[in-house]
């Protein structure tokens, strides 16, 4: 692991997956009326058995893309292949995918068993088989005892399990989930995240989940596509996305980031020399090509604070603490400095004490290793 990290430090992962693709999205565009491109020239491969997340801010086109996979929207142009077959002109009821809706869409007038068995019944599966498969699906989502309940006698989390069972009972090749956890409270959401990962491992099929919650995507998915305004900005595994974002947008959207705008002044022994206001010249290892205006970035937890100048080849500057936010497990410190941008630093509260080691107004040294510094050309 450590080995690959080091290698990747000089070449970010482009997010290709060597698995056989189950979904192939080729240059898909979806325009609503004139000018509104909800999905703008997206190309993606999603591999068999992947837990894939579509992540992005509200209105970036995640739901639209998912609905095109399910067949509820027709692409304006481009191709979608699922399990090797072109999906053009294939109705939603004929696609080898099933969907879990954001509102769960559990049929209110059917009990849990009828809900789960619905997809089998309408396609003419024999009653005896329906019975065993429904029981199987319900025990998979731990709702074995609830078969006779009506949806209005279930909690939100249980209704969602019904929606899951109802989709999984069809044995789809791909399960599509549109913000499945957004209606749950924080504790339940975390439990369901683990549950979904367990479920995906058990059934072994591809999950494609839409979310605007980066923690959800990072903790569950094995690969994430970050979208912005209808375009896919980056596709990568969670750690690569966090440590090697390819653009200012991704860096800022995933986690917190201290960003500094600067200019390239040259290259020296494989190190990019960058001039940044208030930071003197910074030398950062970099293999790509860069020139003109760029940005460097550093994660708040990678910045060290100290009373004395750390020296060495560390990037370093002085600042004054202006704000302190306490979160229990860690504290966030904000320091004003010569760059003009306040820098945020995360400190672990590693020992049991209520006495703050830092207080507002303190003058401190901030420093970080050049290898932890990100260069963002986009």
Ligand X SMILES: Nc1ncnc2c1ncn2[C@@H]1O[C@H](COP(=O)(O)OP(=O)(O)OP(=O)(O)O)[C@@H](O)[C@H]1O
> Binds 107, which of Mg ion, other proteins, ligand X, none (CB < 5 to 8 A, cut-off by type)?
other proteins
Given a contact cutoff of 8 angstroms between Cβ atoms, the answer to whether 140 and 169 are in contact is: no
The CA R_g of the chain, rounded to the nearest whole Å, is 25
Nearest to 55 by CA among 218, 176, 299, 184: 218
Q: Would you say 32 or 326 has its CB closer to ligand X?
A: 32
- Least distance (Å) between residue 104 CB and ligand X: 15
Number of residues that bind other proteins (CB under 8 A): 26
Nearest to 240 by CA among 226, 258, 229, 230: 226
Cβ neighbour number for residue 324 with a 10 Å cutoff: 15
Number of residues that bind ligand X (CB under 6 A): 12
- Least distance (Å) between residue 241 CB and ligand X: 18
Q: Would you say 74 or 191 has its CB closer to ligand X?
A: 74
Q: Across-strand partners of 210?
A: 54, 178
Distance CA 305, CA 333 (A): 10
> Binds 99, which of other proteins, ligand X, Mg ion, none (CB < 5 to 8 A, cut-off by type)?
other proteins
- Asked if 212 is part of the footprint of ligand X (rule: CB under 6 A), the reply reads yes
- Asked if 376 is part of the footprint of ligand X (rule: CB under 6 A), the reply reads no
Residue from 53, 63, 230, 367 binding Mg ion (CB under 5 A): 63
Distance CA 235, CA 208 (A): 13
- Least distance (Å) between residue 269 CB and ligand X: 44
Residue from 23, 60, 65, 70 binding other proteins (CB under 8 A): 70
- Least distance (Å) between residue 17 CB and other proteins: 26
- Least distance (Å) between residue 175 CB and Mg ion: 17
Is the Cα dihedral 378, 16, 54, 213 positive or negative? negative
For residue 8 the two structure tokens come to 């990747």
Residue from 58, 91, 123, 351 binding ligand X (CB under 6 A): 58
Distance CA 43, CA 59 (A): 19
Q: Would you say 76 or 349 has its CB closer to ligand X?
A: 76
- Asked if 214 is part of the footprint of ligand X (rule: CB under 6 A), the reply reads no
Map residue 12 onto helix, strand or coil.
coil
Binding site for ligand X (CB under 6 A): 32, 36, 38, 56, 58-64, 212
């Amino acid at each position: 692991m450590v080995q690959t990290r080091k290698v990747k430090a000089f070449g970010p992962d482009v997010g290709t997956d060597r698995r056989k693709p189950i979904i192939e999205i080729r240059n898909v565009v979806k325009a609503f009326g004139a000018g509104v491109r909800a999905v703008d020239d997206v190309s993606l491969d999603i591999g068999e058995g992947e837990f894939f997340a579509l992540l992005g801010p509200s209105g970036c086109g995640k739901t639209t893309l998912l609905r095109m996979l399910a067949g509820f929207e027709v692409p304006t142009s481009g191709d979608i292949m699922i399990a090797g077959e072109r999906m053009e002109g294939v109705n939603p009821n004929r696609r080898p995918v099933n969907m879990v809706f954001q509102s769960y869409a559990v049929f209110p007038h059917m009990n849990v068993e009828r809900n789960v068995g619905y997809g089998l019944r309408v396609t003419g599966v024999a009653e005896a088989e329906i019975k065993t498969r429904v029981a199987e699906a319900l025990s998979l989502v731990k709702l074995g005892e609830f078969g006779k309940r009506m949806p209005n006698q279930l909690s939100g989390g249980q209704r969602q399990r019904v929606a899951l069972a109802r989709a999984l009972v069809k044995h789809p090749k791909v399960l599509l989930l549109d913000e499945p956890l957004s209606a749950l409270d924080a504790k339940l959401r975390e439990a369901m995240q683990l549950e979904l990962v367990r479920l995906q491992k058990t059934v072994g099929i591809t999950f494609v989940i839409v979310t605007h919650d980066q923690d959800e995507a990072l903790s569950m998915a094995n690969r994430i596509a970050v979208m912005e305004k209808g375009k896919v900005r980056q596709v990568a595994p969670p750690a690569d996305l966090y440590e090697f974002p390819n653009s200012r947008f991704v860096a800022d959207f995933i986690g917190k980031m201290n960003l500094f705008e600067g200019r390239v002044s040259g290259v020296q022994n494989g190190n990019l020399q960058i001039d940044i206001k208030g930071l003197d010249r910074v030398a950062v290892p970099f293999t790509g090509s860069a020139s003109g205006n760029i940005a460097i970035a550093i994660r708040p937890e990678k910045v060290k604070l100290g009373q004395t100048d750390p020296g060495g080849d560390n990037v370093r500057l002085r600042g004054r603490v202006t704000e302190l936010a306490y979160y229990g497990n860690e504290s966030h410190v904000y320091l004003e400095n010569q760059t003009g941008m306040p820098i945020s630093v995360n400190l672990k509260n590693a020992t049991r004490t209520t006495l703050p080691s830092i207080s507002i107004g303190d003058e401190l040294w901030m420093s970080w290793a050049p290898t932890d510094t990100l260069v963002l050309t986009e």
